[in-house]
Amino acid sequence: MPMAERKASVVWNGGLSDGSGMLDLVSSDAAKQLPVTWAARTEQPDGKTSPEEMIAAAQASCYAMAFSNVLSQAGHRPEQLSVDAVCTLDMVDGGPKVTRVDISVTGKVPGLDQSGFQDLANQAEKGCPISNVLRGNAEITVNATLSS
């Protein structure tokens, strides 16, 4: 039996470039009727979302949890972690492909120096379930900055 299953649904109308969809986060009801379009993926979002933005959101939130856990297990409970993730879509061999996810984390963690913070940040990325789904398919980078 799985630990958890979560569901999202999209209803799409029309073709790829002229169509649009509405995304619902079904399991949580946290968001309904989020508009998605091809243009939001490849041009300006204009108030619409994209699969890549959802990947970035999943990466940022998963990584924040993973890093918090790694820090706590190492005896350095974080006061605050601020995580950004950028998911990059490129054309590869004539088709769109997610090529990289860049994670930036700034943290306030007593008792750590910058080197230790970066080491634990890298360790957390290796244990992050979303990173583990993406690894091998996209380059993942971690830029960690310890704040005072």
Average pLDDT, the chain: 96
Flag whether pLDDT at 27 surpasses 80.
yes
Q: Are residues 75 and 109 in contact, defined by beta-carbon separation less than 8 angstroms?
A: no
Residue carrying structure tokens 């890549």 = 52
Average pLDDT score over residue span 4-9: 94
Q: 31-75 pLDDT, tens per residue?
A: 999 999 999 999 999 999 999 999 999 999 999 999 999 999 999
Is it true that domain 51-146 has CATH number 3.30.300.20?
yes
Mean pLDDT of 82-100: 97
| pTM confidence score | 0.93
Domain extents in the chain: 8-42, 51-146
pLDDT computed for residue 148 by the predictor:
77
Q: What is the pLDDT of residues 103-130, one digit of tens each?
A: 999 999 999 999 999 999 999 999 999 9
- Per-residue confidence band for 25, with pLDDT thresholds at 50, 70 and 90: very high
In the predicted model, is pLDDT for residue 91 greater than 90? yes
Amino acid code (one letter) for 56: A
